Amino acid sequence: MTLGIYIHWPFCRRICPYCDFNVRRWRGEEEAGLLGAICADIAEHGRRLGPQSLHSVHFGGGTPSMLTPQAIARILDCVTGTFGLEDAVEIGLEANPEDAGALPELVGAGINRLSLGVQALDDAALGQLGRGHTAYAALEAIDVAARTGARVSVDLIHSRPGQTLAAWEAELRRALRLEIEHLSAYQLTIEAGTPFAKAAGSGRLLPQDTEQAAQFYELTQALCAEAGFCGYEISNHAKGESARARHNLLYWRGDDWLGIGPGAHGRIALAGQRTATIAWRGLKDYIDAVAQAGIGWESTDALAAEAEGEEMLLMGLRLAEGVDVQRVERLLRRPLSSTGLMQSGLVHAVRPGRLALTLPGRLFADRIAVQLLASEAPVAL
């Protein structure tokens, strides 16, 4: 079984107005307690799961590039003390351009893949997104990252309010010429409860409509492909197979991972059953839970075969390599209703037994998943 670890570091210098992750403003004081809890949590997971080798370790957040090299080393020590590492293990970290100076030392501490939260290469847009860096600083950070020898990926956000297709084309072309092997290009999503949602609700912010957003998406696909970045997932593009985000592939392929840190979700085999774990969201709750129970879980939910099958389809469908139809159907105990979608050219068999979205189908991934899973779909009359 392929296994990874996700470690959530919830602190940020500032909270971006579009973000709905479990994040908090950093005030410096809680760091030590959380570090200890994370290490203890990893060790306890190891005790419960038994000896295993890791395919990947991923530091997400929040802003894990704010961790000191010592803290990274301490966590990685704990990881290697608990689990084995596969030869080609990916140890990734999400970094903010503001932390460019710390990147060489972080790589020194064991990180081998850096994912930079660039978001835009336009200062006005960066301001609108509430980011604390300039486009220039981001380019510098990419340069620094590239020289560390780590694999480098960049995150960008498109379909921003007021953004034109032409402006995005220029921005994206520029990004694709940089020394990076991977690009995540996300459509801006207005998440409920965020300052952006409030602004959109009151009319102060005008999100792009779905027609425009579709055009942004189509342009992105075309430009990335042209530059040799393969769109291996709905929003992710890599220069060749080895450049793909191995840790993220765990999620999309239905593999296992531990969810460590406040609010982290995991999927692991407990007593032979795939189980969804969710750690306490609150910082203090998490630390207390680890202190008392040894592990940070707020809830564990043994997934029924059907739920497992649904998850496998929902996630696997996002990949260009597609999803193993037989495996999904075995879990669901019913066939997927794909004939109509095939005829419409929205899905195709990438190779026998593997179902994937076609390029036009990608724009409708969510709708198609529902369609495939609607077992009681009434027969057309």
- Catalog residues that contact another protein under the rule CB under 8 A: 6, 21, 186-189, 210-211, 213-214, 217, 234-235, 248, 250-251, 257, 259, 263-267, 276, 278, 307, 310-311, 314-315, 318, 340, 344, 346, 362-367, 369-370, 373-374, 376-381
Please state the φ and ψ torsions of residue 91, each to the nearest 5 degrees: -120, 100
Cα within 13 Å of Cα(364), Cβ side: 14
Question: Of the two residues 146 and 315, which places its CB atom closer to another protein in the complex?
Answer: 315
**Nearer Cβ to another protein, position 166 or 380?**
380
Least distance (Å) between residue 155 CB and another protein: 10
Please state the closest distance from residue 124 (CB atom) to another protein, in A: 22
Nearer to another protein, 45 or 362 (CB): 362
CB within 8 A of 170, min separation 6: which ones? none
Residue nearer to another protein on the CB measure, 137 or 357: 357
Q: C-alpha dihedral over 99, 101, 106, 109, to 10 degrees?
A: -150
Identify which of residues 116 and 137 has a Cβ nearer to another protein in the complex: 116
Quick check: bond before 62 cis, omega within 30? yes
> What is the smallest separation between the CB atom of 367 and another protein, expressed in angstroms?
4
Minimum CB–partner distance for residue 358 and another protein (Å): 12
Instruction: Indicate the residue among 151 and 158 with the shorter CB distance to another protein.
Output: 158
Q: How far is the CB of 202 from another protein (least distance, A)?
A: 23
Q: Which is nearer to another protein, 146 or 186 (CB)?
A: 186
Contact between 181 and 3 (Cβ < 8 Å): no
* Least gap, CB of 109 to another protein (angstroms): 23
* Closest CB 213 distance from another protein, rounded Å: 6
CB proximity list for 99: less than 8 A, separation 6 or greater: 63, 65, 66, 141
Cβ distance to another protein smaller for residue 110 or 263? 263
Shortest Å distance, C-beta 337 to another protein: 11
